[in-house]
A and B are shown apart, each in its own frame.
Chain A
Amino acid sequence: MLMVGFLAGGLLIAVESSGGQASPAAFRAPRTKDGKPDLNGFWQAINSANWDITPHTAAPGPNTLGELGSIPPGLGIIEGGGQLPYLPEALTKQKENFEKRWKEDPEAKCYLPGVPRVMYMPFPIQIIESPQMIMMISEYKSALRTVFMENHKKAPADSWMGWSNGTWDGETLVIDNTGFNDRSWFDRAGNHHSDSLHVVERITMTDIDHLNYEATIEDPQVFSRSWKISMPLYRRKEKNMEILEYRCVEYAEDLVYGHLYKDPIK
């Protein structure tokens, strides 16, 4: 079978697929009782993208906790490997965000992480599939996505986690996400977006324990062109695996409100 696709650099390629070679569509996922690919389970990314989605070298953290909080290195998750195609003003804003990231990263304040960030935070995600909707529940403050598989509608209002309409494209769950506010960041490095953000995700099981996760991101107010991220999501296989409570509001209150205390926290 002749397969055509784009390599990371944008080079058009054509290859003969040989049986057994792993390409995203080569694996037939187990099926739910209503015949859809069965993505139920616990999944988690293993990379340092939550620190910085672009390629980056290890660096110290805020230095108040010794090694704890220091930044692990990473090759980034951007296809093509390079930097983000920021418009000039948006690049300036990213640099400002970076300078004040220890206080202004929405994660530091225990705010909802947005999409795609929720998918590569260092917390597991449980997928619960029903025919009408697919739920994705992150352990990080129980951040929830409802992916509507029928009755697709436009987002009624902007929100942190956006509005998700899903369809099946063979083995692949395709999710069209709109209706975002402009407040979430892509990572702890201040990479950001506007409320024009549009994220199209493609999630494909490549074997029983791995999902291939891809997202194409466009935001004409912030970026000069669309760009794409990809990574595997790994199945959490612990026998006693479950999503636990991580109610981080309390952990962030001094940061968010401390300046208003009777004895202010500077």
Chain B
Amino acid sequence: MSHRLIAATGGLAIALGGAVVMMWPVRLAGQADTSRTVSATTSSANWKAPRTPDGQPEIQGYWTNNTYTPLERAANVNKEFFTKEEAEADARRRAAQEATQTTPGTTGDVHYDFTQFGLDRGQGTRVENLRTSLIIDPPDGKLPARSAEFTARANARRTPRAPGGQYDTVKNIPIGSRCIIGGVGQPMPMFPQGYNSNYQIVQGPGYVMILYENIGDIRIISLNGEPFPPKEVTQWMGISRGHWDGDTLIVETSNFNERIEGRNAAIQGVSSDFKLIERFKRTGPNTMMYEATIDDPSSYASPWTAQVPFAMMDGPIFEPACHEGNYGIANTLAGARLAEKQAAENPAAAQPAAADQRGAAAAPRGGAGGQRGGGARGGARGGARGGNAGGNQ
């Protein structure tokens, strides 16, 4: 998914609209590791979650699961937990990586420098997590073996939906860039996104509502025990049913649609009837633990579980209005038309622009050359970044 392109469109509008810039402590690039971290292990054994008026354990509020902890344990790490010093060093290293995603002085740097807009993970409230991977089961912190079926599904979902090139119509541009569904990572399960990993949870009698800052995706989890709707009713985010088991909210989600094209690489090839069980448990005044178990026998050799700590943050979550401010798509398409026009008028001179567009699409981090064909080039680069950011864990 394209987090660069999103930044150029709705995401950037959010940042400039107020929420990110206003609410988060903004720090200079390079000091990203000094962001406010909230310890996920502050709870004492006798701490008890407050209750809502109708008696639910309270998980209401503004939350973030912003983190540098990767979904899978890195190849050179052989333990479940870092020491505090190691965890900080690892976050610092990942923050530095994030800060150097654009080359200073280039158009890309002006438009897509996350640190400049406070969108990088290092500048937001971050949850302290000594785990070396979000995956806790299997214990090696790695995804179980995937089937050929998983790979085939993932490839099919990545295949362009419409004939022609990526910028011939809007249809072959990633769904997140088009503001159709939370684009950077994946709304289901609630793993950290590349940026704006922020949520607003509200509890009313019989319901828990979760708003995602990214694109404004909303989940309404019924606690009233209704059966799932017929299989003909499918949704991008599925349909969720929850119940409280003591202080833990257990949510089962079904009725997913087949269009999992934009989700995290770990989810991208699952069958549409994969089983997702989530657990939300408040662990302290400012912390909550989230667990997601994915069970899909046709994809994974065994079920797997990831654990993601959440920290309370300052609200509010401001209106995303992503599609409404999606100048990036219009400019990308217009730029592509301009590049075609130039190519038709002067094939020899236009070639570098076309080549750059292709090159950027193939090599995500490749620095761009000249400045010709502005819109198309920015768009192509954005799309390419997206390919790179797909596994943003």
Residues of A participating in the B interface, judged by any CB pair closer than 8 Å: 32-34, 38, 40, 106, 110-112, 126-133, 135, 137, 142, 144, 146, 156-157, 159-161, 183, 240, 242-245, 247, 249-250, 253, 256-257, 260-263
Of A126, A247, A260, the residue contacting B330 (CB under 8 A) is A260
The answer to whether A261 and B333 touch across the interface, beta carbons within 8 angstroms, is yes
Contacts of B266 in A (CB 8 A): none
Q: In the complex, what distance in Å separates the CA atom of A144 from the CA atom of B322?
A: 13
The answer to whether A257 and B18 touch across the interface, beta carbons within 8 angstroms, is no
CB distance from A75 to the nearest CB of B (A): 32
The answer to whether B330 and A33 touch across the interface, beta carbons within 8 angstroms, is no
The answer to whether A159 and B236 touch across the interface, beta carbons within 8 angstroms, is no
Given A130-B60, A144-B218, check contact A111 B323 (CB 8 Å): yes
B177-191, CB < 8 A from A: 178-181
Interface size on B, as a range, is: 35 or more
The residue of chain A having its C-beta at the shortest distance from the C-beta of B171 within the complex is A253
Knowing that A242-B226, A262-B168 touch, tell me 19 more A-B residue pairs with CB under 8 angstroms: A32-B53, A111-B324, A112-B321, A112-B324, A130-B60, A135-B202, A144-B216, A144-B319, A146-B200, A160-B319, A183-B324, A240-B226, A244-B233, A244-B235, A247-B181, A247-B236, A249-B179, A261-B333, A262-B340
- A–B Cβ pairs within 8 angstroms, 7 of them: A32-B54, A128-B220, A242-B220, A245-B237, A249-B323, A261-B169, A263-B169
Of A32, A161, A247, the residue contacting B180 (CB under 8 A) is A247
The answer to whether A142 and B180 touch across the interface, beta carbons within 8 angstroms, is no
Interface centre among A33, A126, A146, A257 (most CB of B within 10 A): A257
Q: In the complex, what distance in Å separates the CA atom of A262 from the CA atom of B205?
A: 51
Contacts of A144 in B (CB 8 A): 211, 216, 218, 319
CB distance from B385 to the nearest CB of A (A): 21
CB distance from A125 to the nearest CB of B (A): 12
Q: In the complex, what distance in Å separates the CA atom of A38 from the CA atom of B178?
A: 38
Q: In the complex, what distance in Å separates the CA atom of A33 from the CA atom of B205?
A: 9
The answer to whether A33 and B54 touch across the interface, beta carbons within 8 angstroms, is yes
The residue of chain B having its C-beta at the shortest distance from the C-beta of A239 within the complex is B226
The residue of chain A having its C-beta at the shortest distance from the C-beta of B16 within the complex is A157
The answer to whether B168 and A133 touch across the interface, beta carbons within 8 angstroms, is no
Given A112-B319, A249-B178, A262-B337, check contact A130 B52 (CB 8 Å): yes
Interface centre among A146, A159, A245 (most CB of B within 10 A): A245
Contact string, B208-252, partner A, CB cutoff 8 A, digits 1/0? 010100001110101000100100010111010000000000000
CB distance from A21 to the nearest CB of B (A): 30
The answer to whether B60 and A132 touch across the interface, beta carbons within 8 angstroms, is yes
CB distance from B136 to the nearest CB of A (A): 31
CB distance from B203 to the nearest CB of A (A): 6
Contacts of B220 in A (CB 8 A): 126, 128, 137, 242-243
Contacts of A243 in B (CB 8 A): 220
B316 interfacial by beta-carbon distance below 8 Å: yes
The answer to whether B54 and A257 touch across the interface, beta carbons within 8 angstroms, is no
Of B200, B226, B333, the residue contacting A260 (CB under 8 A) is B333
Q: In the complex, what distance in Å separates the CA atom of A135 from the CA atom of B210?
A: 11
Contacts of B222 in A (CB 8 A): 242
Q: In the complex, what distance in Å separates the CA atom of A96 from the CA atom of B53?
A: 51
Contacts of B200 in A (CB 8 A): 146
Contact string, B306-328, partner A, CB cutoff 8 A, digits 1/0? 00000000001011010110000
Interface centre among B53, B203, B222 (most CB of A within 10 A): B53
The answer to whether A130 and B229 touch across the interface, beta carbons within 8 angstroms, is no
The answer to whether B22 and A156 touch across the interface, beta carbons within 8 angstroms, is yes
The answer to whether B169 and A159 touch across the interface, beta carbons within 8 angstroms, is no
Q: In the complex, what distance in Å separates the CA atom of A204 from the CA atom of B202?
A: 22
The answer to whether B54 and A260 touch across the interface, beta carbons within 8 angstroms, is no
Interface centre among A106, A128, A256 (most CB of B within 10 A): A128
The answer to whether B17 and A128 touch across the interface, beta carbons within 8 angstroms, is no
CB distance from B189 to the nearest CB of A (A): 17
Q: In the complex, what distance in Å separates the CA atom of A160 from the CA atom of B319?
A: 8
B361 interfacial by beta-carbon distance below 8 Å: no
The answer to whether A128 and B340 touch across the interface, beta carbons within 8 angstroms, is no
CB distance from A158 to the nearest CB of B (A): 9
Contacts of B202 in A (CB 8 A): 128, 130, 133, 135
The answer to whether B218 and A142 touch across the interface, beta carbons within 8 angstroms, is yes
Q: In the complex, what distance in Å separates the CA atom of A240 from the CA atom of B329?
A: 38
The answer to whether B324 and A260 touch across the interface, beta carbons within 8 angstroms, is no
Contacts of B323 in A (CB 8 A): 110-111, 249
Of B171, B209, B319, the residue contacting A135 (CB under 8 A) is B209
Given A242-B222, A257-B330, A261-B169, check contact A146 B17 (CB 8 Å): no
Given A243-B220, A249-B178, check contact A156 B169 (CB 8 Å): no
Sorted nearest first, the 10 A-B pairs with minimum C-beta distance are: A128-B204, A33-B53, A260-B333, A34-B53, A262-B168, A159-B319, A245-B235, A157-B18, A142-B218, A156-B18
Contacts of B216 in A (CB 8 A): 142, 144
B117 interfacial by beta-carbon distance below 8 Å: no
The residue of chain A having its C-beta at the shortest distance from the C-beta of B319 within the complex is A159
Q: In the complex, what distance in Å separates the CA atom of A128 from the CA atom of B217?
A: 16
B170 interfacial by beta-carbon distance below 8 Å: yes
Contacts of A156 in B (CB 8 A): 18-19, 22, 316, 318
